[in-house]
Structure 1
Amino acid sequence: MQLADKTAQEIKAPLIFINTGTRAALPELPGLSDVPYLTTTELLDLQELPEHLLILGGATSGWNLGRCFAGLAAK
């Protein structure tokens, strides 16, 4: 692993999890900028459960968010 000072350090462990972090990518959908929308970060910061919710997203993050909010009774 390369450190901030450009030196290298070897790390050994049975399992290593690398979380690089990402930002939500907004799809190019006509009209999206004309309606209120939430990114993943904003959705997870909600203080109240939305009555209705449409999740656009791929991979497991969209599926996981859908299951989470369905379990909380959002439609």
Structure 2
Amino acid sequence: YLLQALSASLQLIRMRSRRPTDIETFSDTGLQAVEHGRKLVTRLLSSVSQDGPELICIDVSEKLDAARDLLQRSEA
């Protein structure tokens, strides 16, 4: 429910913004983060429902690079 609420809020921001270029960029980044979270939660839930957790390797630097834009904007 949390990701759905975030997604809906970001979509409303995009639709009702006065400065569409700025807000669209922010909401797009937020929606991407929501989508990444949704995929992660789906994977976690599916691995728990199977015989046991399945360990996978991820490239942390790749994930951080994908979130770099969001992280830099959150500093401002």
Tell whether the structures are fold-level matches, with TM greater than 0.5: no
Structure number with higher helix proportion: 2
TM bracket (short chain): under 0.3
Return the TM-score normalized by structure 1. Answer: 0.26
Return the TM-score normalized by structure 2. Answer: 0.26
Pair member with larger Rg: 1
